[in-house]
Structure 1
């Protein structure tokens, strides 16, 4: 294989990026990280919890190193006098072969103090990953390159208020609505590569945000392992508190446990976090964010009517309609109706295949009371085996005067539909005119737009989504 390498402007022994990824070791397995999804740029020195480690020079079986095709060096490492050398990279097959696949060659250099640097590149070989060999671990000797594996310890704040001294962290991809990591297709984001320094306030596209206190199936946030807060956020009077951090993966909310972080509630309804480098053993972790801004107007009087009878809990998709709400452009708050009468989401299990869809979505928790204000509720989907086999993105709900509810619907994780069931006390859409409504100066008048979607359009969208998901899965498996 002929490869055109870039010229080297400085000695890579002193101009590299430290890569401390213990999950790349040849004695690790269980996850599937694909190196072709990362943006490799330049030279790297490999570490294992702060100790030097090398790429493997011997066959590594498939599914090791937390990837599908395990990549290893098909030759010995060079000597210092050899300078920069080119080495072939092999990958074993699923059937047990050692070098059935050959990736793009890489360059390697031996450095003083007995370590190596590698010019890693995109493997372009299915779901594959560079492997390290635990038999080569040695104590690292410090160099002029930055030390990335020293963690900041948690200390009490004594000299300044972090509510007035914080860094702004506004990354749209941290949103819990970012599903690009489904089926292993991850973005190039890894918070173990960030040089964290002090306190941070979260934003999403300029809107105030916070870490989620929950997880759900396939929560990704632009990485492989999604970090969320294991305890509630503090109150103003609590001051600086320490909170546990968990990492979710697929349907396992607490698959990993990262280092605790400090959190503080601030005047003005926001939080600040003292982020630190996540635990290195967690593959590609990312701190998640979710918008929590207070609605600028009362959603009880500023909503969109959602009157689609096919969403009924007694409607089977085998008989009528195939709903797929992850193809919808949800925007704002919605009030549910059923043929013009007041309706709400069900609070109990809905059988698979009902609500005009294969994956019915229902509220896993009671609706709030008027005095509760806006609350967050988990959304479940039933399967043939259990009532809450998967969880989708949580939604916000509010109880309103007049015995109805409004919901801030968002795109589900997968093809499914929010269910509707008639309220115990039905109220027609016209009944809202008899309610005691605040003055026009303080609110925006109700929006009475009815959402209408043609059946053939949603069917087409559902098939298109399914086709994309199959292609994504095929990319990994082949």
Structure 2
């Protein structure tokens, strides 16, 4: 009996531990970090579709934050729908109203309509009102054809401000008249044009290359969210025209929506479409792009499935009236005043915006800018995430083994009692 009690205590303790959640040190606002899903008009409840091959399916949706953009509307439908509405056999609709802005992130249930009931089964999602739009942390329905229904927004955005229009933080300036010291602190930023990883641009990434064999297909599922530059014979830029399945040597090719930005635009956002057998833009990923004059860099994301890879094309951008970051000049300025003469030498490198300190004695300011300052926090984050997942798997195995031992012990005890009685 004592051994059984100890086993039960161990199982309960492990269950409580697994129920804990890790909180990140830096909170990322989902209103700023999300992926866009094209709100095709076929997602509207007044659109019906009974043919399987023409239906919409969200089975490839991963559990992350999304925003719907398009003519069908930007919000999930929150009234019940019937089968075949929203252009699929098992439409999904949200139970409950859209939250207010000051409610923050809230939970809502999503119902799956079937031939048996309008809410055959449910699963939980998260919603946040970002003033003029909403973001949703969705889940895959787990079957096809099943997709989320969309409706035009009926929420008024008054007395609130979009996160994208929030004021930009300004540098901190501290001045001390006693010691005649002025300190200007600007947050450091590493320019992706000089801090990136190269991906070989294999010719098989070209849209005119096809591959139907799974084991010979290309796959970018191991790509991490960081800055990359493509170098090779396929080209240095993402293909920005639609492609079909099996092109670019994979089943679900990825292509960019929109043109390559100009150099003076800086870092911009673009959507990347995943082509499937259902649509040429079945779902989208949100990436960042920067034009570095003679080449481009991309902050990519993993497609989350295989075989799926980015398509590449030769660059069609002319680099005129611009300078590569590697050839940035040096600037020397001299400032004279009645009390002191100050000489400042600064290398105009985009790698780092330094902290500048000016002292009266000996009246010389020296700014030292390292060539490369790189703290690979993304690598640390990935390592931590892997360690957490591995720990959770190990603990789950311990719990399962403990439960099996406990059940076996209980069964053996009953067997022995039965034999004694017999």
Q: Which protein is richer in strand relative to its size?
A: 1
Relative contact order: is structure 1 or structure 2 higher (C-alpha 8 Å, sep ≥ 6)?
A: 2
Tell me, yes or no, whether TM beats 0.5: no
Structure-1-length-normalised TM-score: 0.37
Structure-2-length-normalised TM-score: 0.41
Larger Rg, first or second structure (1 or 2): 2
